[in-house]
Amino acid sequence: MTLARRKMAQLIALLGAPTVFLLVFFLGPLLIMLVYSFLTPGIYGGVDWVFSHLNYGRILGWADTRYEKFDPVFLSIFARSLRLAALTVITSLIVSYPAAFWISRMAPGKRDFAIFLVTLPFFVSLIVRLFAWVLILRPTGFLNQGLMGVGLTSEPIEFLYTDFAVVLGMTYVFIPFMFLPLYGSIEKLDPAQLEASSDLGATRFQTFRKVVLPATMPGIIGGSIITFIPALGNFIVPSVLGGAKVLMIGNLIEQQFLSARNWPFGSALAMMVMTAVLVLLIVQLRLVRHGSGQGEH
């Protein structure tokens, strides 16, 4: 066997099993979802094998008015999901960026312990953590009791079941998703570049804008993407902290599959989310290529 054939055989042996796994358990369900999104819902649940585009029309505006009507509330829920997911990314970035800088400058022993603390919430059930937030945010919770105790308010503020509670909860859940890529980029910063910028007379803000921010941009983009994607389709946090007042696209998809038993419409909604994620990944790829091109020049 020649050297090239031996390398090809090793490559197939290494990548064969993961490729088959992804084809069966990722692309397979995705293809089923795509086909179902073009089928007609059955009268008693399930699907009738009659292809139709009206599931998408019900969302985007060309529904069959005899059985299904276009309702702008679906686009409103989708827009709200995009807005809350974007706010989650922004708040996670604001919290994680200075924290990653601070931890990266620690002594090795303390730094490892601090990173362990960031990942510590993963060891506790998500439902338990969210109900702890319910105890904090409810009208008789610790936050309102504290505000009234120090005289900042005379009556409880409605924190729970609001957009604020959902963004706060998703930020809390997804902070490690933002922190770890940021930390990876910040840790690679060359201190000599910062010293050179300072020696050349740059202010701290100029050093941050010209040196630190471009160098850590891959971590910012990567962390934003892997925070935005699960936040957009999340339905557990809005269910617990948003209740019926803050409905996101993930809750709507869950209701279509489990309560309304309208699988084709739920599949069409899921494909809309997948399309938004795909567009986002393409934008990320273009940004990374643009950044690499600038770095080469």
- The Cα 278–Cα 43 span in angstroms is 33
Higher per-residue pLDDT: 227 or 1: 227
| Residue 270 burial class via C-beta count within 10 angstroms: exposed 0-12, middle 13-18, buried 19 and up | buried
Q: Return mean pLDDT, the chain.
A: 87
Question: pLDDT tens, 88-115?
Answer: 999 999 999 999 999 988 888 888 899 9
What's the gap between Cα 221 and its chain centre? 12
Can you give the pLDDT at residue 66? Answer: 64
Percent of the chain with pLDDT over 70: 96
Is 276 within 8 Å of 228 (Cβ atoms)? no
8 Å CB contact between 161 and 79: no
Tens-place pLDDT, residues 13-23? 888 888 888 88
Say how far residue 110 (Cα) sits from the centre of its chain: 29
With 80 as the cut, is the pLDDT of residue 277 above it?
A: yes
Percent residues over pLDDT 90 in the chain: 34
Name, in order, each residue with C-beta under 8 angstroms of 291's C-beta and a sequence gap of 6 or more.
214, 217, 218
pLDDT of residue 103: 92
Question: What is the predicted pLDDT for the residue at 132?
Answer: 92
Q: Which residue has the higher pLDDT, 297 or 283?
A: 283
Mean pLDDT calculated for residue range 251-265: 89
CA distances to 45, 87, 233, 240 from 227, in Å: 34, 11, 11, 19
Name the band, by pLDDT with cuts 50, 70 and 90, for residue 173.
very high
Task: Enumerate the H helices of the chain as residue ranges.
Answer: 3-22, 28-36, 54-60, 72-104, 108-119, 126-137, 142-149, 163-187, 191-199, 204-207, 213-233, 236-237, 249-258, 263-296
Task: Give CA–CA dist 169/177, Å, rounded.
Answer: 14
Task: Give me the amino acid identity at 166.
Answer: V
Give the model confidence (pLDDT) of 53-100 as tens digits. 888 888 888 776 666 677 888 889 999 999 999 999 999 999 999 999
Q: Is 152 exposed, middle or buried (0-12, 13-18, 19+ CB in 10 A)?
A: exposed
Phi, psi of 142 (to 5 degrees): -65, -35
